[in-house]
Structure 1
Amino acid sequence: MKYSEIFKQKMEIARYGNSTIKSYTAALSIFFKENNQFLVTDINEKIIEAYLVKIIREKKISAAYQKHLIASLKLFYKMVFNRLLNIDDLFPKRTEHKLPKYLAKDEVKKILSVVTNLKHKAILSALYGCGLRLSELINLKIEDVDSKNEVINIRNAKGKKDRQVMLPKSLLPLLRSYFKTYLPKIYLFEGQSQEQYSPRSVQAILKQAAVIAKIGKVVSPHILRHSFATHLLENGTDIRYIQKLLGHNNLNTTQIYTHITDVAKSKVLSPLDF
C-alpha cells in the first residue's frame, strides 16, 4: 500500500473530515513530487525548511498555505511513521488579517437575475440565501430541507457539527419548482447518475453568471457566503445569531465582518469631502 493510502486510511479512522483529508493529501502530493530526489523516509527538517524558503521566495505562497503544508507534514509523519517532526518553528509568526471579499446587494441580485437554468438558479440562491459553504451545499440531502419549520439542516459540517440555517421564504417555491422538474433521489442537487453535484460545476455556474452580469470582480461560492454575512450585519442582525448561522466556533471569526460594515455605516467624512 502506498504511503498516501496509509495516511488517508489513518485519517479516516481518526474521523477527519473529507475536505481535510483531500486538502492534506493534495498538499503532500505536491510536496513529495517537488522533492522526489529524496526518499519519503529521508525527508527531514532541513529539507522542509529549504523547500519552504524556495516556495515563499519564488511562488509567494500565503501564510495560510504555509501553515497548512506544515500541519500536513507533521500529521503524515506522526501517523505513518510514528515520527515527530521538529518543525513548529517554521509556522508563520505573523497572522495575515485580510478583510473578506464580498459582493454588494445589487451585484448579487444581478447575478441571480441572469441565471435562466432552474437548477443553477436554485443552487446559487441556496448558497447565498443560506450562507452555505460549497461542501455543505453539495452534501445536502432532500430530507435536510424542513419546509414546515422553514429551516435547512446542515449535517456533519466543518468540525463534525450539525446546525440549522433559515430556509428563505423566497427560496422555498424555487426549490419546489426545481424538485418537480429534476426529481432528485438522494441529494438535493444531483449531477448525472444521481451523484452529488460537482463542486467545480457550481464554481463554473457562478463564474459564468458573474461574467454575463458584468461583475468585474473575482466571484466564488465562498464570496457569496461572505456576502450573506455582511448583508445580514448591514441589516442589523445580531452578530451572535450570524455566528450560529455560519457555524463559527469563535465569535472572533465572525467579528471580521464588522470591520466592513462599521466603515460602511460610519458618518465620518473624509477630509476630501470637507
Structure 2
Amino acid sequence: MRTIQLIAFYHRRAERIGIPFPKDWADVVAVLRPLKDVAWSRTRNCWYVPLSQVHFDAVKRALHGKAHLDTQLLKQYLEQRKACLGVTDAERLSSARSRIVQEQPLSADNLAAFNRFRDLIKLKGYSSSTLRTYCTEFHALLRLLGPRAAAGLTREQVQSYLLWLMQQRGYSEAHIHTAVNALKFFYEQVEGRSKEFYDLPRPKKPQTLPNVLATSEVEELIGRIRNLKHRALLMTAYSAGLRVSELVHLKVRDIDSKRMTIHVRLGKGKKDRMVPLSPTLLKVLRVYFREYRPREYLFEGEKGGAYGVRSAQEVIAAAKRAAGITKKGSMHMLRHSYATHLLEQGTDLRFIQELLGHHQITTTVRYTHVAIKGPANLRSPLDSLRLDL
C-alpha cells in the first residue's frame, strides 16, 4: 500500500499537519478535498489541515484503505511541542517556538529530563510564573546541549555555561539569578545531587531604585481617565498596592464593605492577605458595579473571565500618555508609589511589609531610599546661596 509521511509545519499563523504525496494520486485528492479546513500550500507543495486531533482523525478516516499514514515525524514534533508548551504556558505555539521545535529538538534523554523537571515543579506547587521561567531557562540549556545529556554535566561545566550567558548572551544579573535557581532545582531536586550547587557563582544584583509617582501625578493619571472601568482599575491598584496579577484576579466577593477590607488571595508565594478598603475607592466601585455588573471577577474581559494582564498594562500606558507622564514604569509603578506614599505619611515599615505581602523586610526597606525624608521645611544648602540667576 502507498505511504504518506505526515509532517508538521507553521503556516498562515498556525501549526499545520502536512499531507505530502505525488500529484498524480487523484483518488487521494478526491477524498481529501471535501474535508473541513483542508487547503493547498504552494510554498510547501502539499495539502494540509490544522494541527488538531479532530483534523488528524478526519484525514485518517478519509485515507483508510487508500494510503498508509506514517506518523513518526508528526509524533516527534508533538513530543517536542509538549515540552515547548510547558515553557510558554499557552495553548498553542508561536511561529518562533514552532521553529525551535523543528530546528532544535531535544534529545530523548534531555526530553525525559525536561518532563521530570516540569512535573516536579508542578508537584511541589510552585506558581505558574515560576514554572514558566524555570522551564524557559532549562529548555534553553537543553537545546544548546544537543545530544549531550544534561544530567552528565559537572559543576564546572554548569558554571561555564552561566559565564557564557553573561558574556555572550548578555544576561543581566537578575536573569542570571533566575537561571541559577532553575539549574539548582534540576540538579538538586530532580537529580538528587548534593548541595554543592548552592555554591554556583551569583553576580551581585544592582541596587536600583523603583520609579515613583508624586501624589499630584497620581491625581493627574486617574483624573485623565474617562472610562469608568479603567479608572476603577487604576484606583484599585493604587489604593491597595496590588501586583497586576493580584489586581486582575480580584473577585467581587473579595471586596468586603462591612469590614472595609480587600481580600488578596494567593498572592506571590501563594499567600493571602487583607488590605484596607479605601472609602473613596468603595464609592467608585459601587458606581462601577451598577454599570458593568461583573459576575465573578471584579474586572472582567469582554467575553467574561479575568481581565487580561496585558490589557491592564495598556490601560496605565494610555493613562500615562494622556497625563504627559514620561517616567518609565508599568502597573507595578502604582504599587511602588503606594508604598512610598505610605512611608512618607509616617506608616510603620513593618505594617507596609504586611500590606505589600513581602516575605522579607529587606524588600520593603528599599522604599526608604526613595521616600522624601526629613522635616517638611527642609531646604537644600543650594537655596541658602546668594546667586545672581
Q: Which residue number in structure 1 is paired with residue 221 of structure 2?
A: 111
**Is 1:97 equivalent to 2:207 in the alignment?**
yes
**Is 1:50 equivalent to 2:141 in the alignment?**
no
Please give the alpha-carbon distance, in whole angstroms, between the structure 1 residues aligned to 2:146 and 2:375.
Answer: 53
Q: Secondary structure at the match of 2:272?
A: strand
Contact 1:44 1:85 in 2 (8 A): no
Amino acid of the residue matched to residue 158 of structure 1? K
Q: Point out 4+ residue stretches in structure 1 off by more than 6 angstroms.
A: none
Please give the alpha-carbon distance, in whole angstroms, between the structure 2 residues aligned to 1:265 and 1:51.
Answer: 51
Task: Give the direction of change, closer, same or farther, for the CA distance of 1:187–1:262 in structure 2 (3 Å limit).
Answer: same
Amino acid of the residue matched to residue 181 of structure 2? A
TM-score (norm 1): 0.87
After superposition, the CA RMSD in angstroms is: 2.6
Please give the alpha-carbon distance, in whole angstroms, between the structure 2 residues aligned to 1:252 and 1:92.
Answer: 19
Question: What is the CA-CA distance between 1:243 and the residue it aligns to?
Answer: 1.5
Task: Give the direction of change, closer, same or farther, for the CA distance of 1:84–1:135 in structure 2 (3 Å limit).
Answer: farther
Q: Secondary structure at the match of 2:370?
A: helix
Please give the alpha-carbon distance, in whole angstroms, between the structure 1 residues aligned to 2:226 and 2:370.
Answer: 32
**Is 1:13 equivalent to 2:118 in the alignment?**
no
Task: Give the direction of change, closer, same or farther, for the CA distance of 1:137–1:55 in structure 2 (3 Å limit).
Answer: same
Per residue, is there more helix in 1 or in 2? Answer: 1
Q: Does 168-177 or 20-29 show the bigger shift?
A: 20-29
> Which whole-Å deviations, capped at 9, do the CAs of 1:161-205 have from their partners, x for residues lacking one?
211111111111221222222222222122243222211111121
Please give the alpha-carbon distance, in whole angstroms, between the structure 2 residues aligned to 1:195 and 1:153.
Answer: 19
**Is 1:207 equivalent to 2:314 in the alignment?**
no
Contact 1:66 1:91 in 2 (8 A): no
* Mapping for residues 230-241 of structure 1, pairs under 5 Å: 230-241=340-351
Q: Which residue number in structure 1 is paired with residue 275 of structure 2?
A: 165
**Is 1:67 equivalent to 2:177 in the alignment?**
yes
Number of residues paired by the alignment?
274
Please give the alpha-carbon distance, in whole angstroms, between the structure 2 residues aligned to 1:210 and 1:135.
Answer: 20
Q: Does 143-152 or 8-17 show the bigger shift?
A: 8-17
1:126 alignment partner, one of 202, 211, 236 = 236
Contact 1:187 1:196 in 2 (8 A): yes
Please give the alpha-carbon distance, in whole angstroms, between the structure 1 residues aligned to 2:195 and 2:288.
Answer: 51
Higher relative contact order (CA 8 A, sep 6+): 1
> Which whole-Å deviations, capped at 9, do the CAs of 1:123-147 have from their partners, x for residues lacking one?
1111111100112112211111101
2:291 alignment partner, one of 167, 172, 181 = 181
Task: Give the direction of change, closer, same or farther, for the CA distance of 1:223–1:12 in structure 2 (3 Å limit).
Answer: same
TM-score (norm 2): 0.63
**Is 1:269 equivalent to 2:380 in the alignment?**
yes
Please give the alpha-carbon distance, in whole angstroms, between the structure 2 residues aligned to 1:203 and 1:43.
Answer: 41
Task: Give the direction of change, closer, same or farther, for the CA distance of 1:251–1:79 in structure 2 (3 Å limit).
Answer: closer
Question: What is the CA-CA distance between 1:240 and the residue it aligns to?
Answer: 2.2
Amino acid of the residue matched to residue 26 of structure 1? T
**Is 1:153 equivalent to 2:255 in the alignment?**
no
Contact 2:188 2:197 in 1 (8 A): no
Identity of aligned residues (%): 36
Question: What is the CA-CA distance between 1:226 and the residue it aligns to?
Answer: 0.6
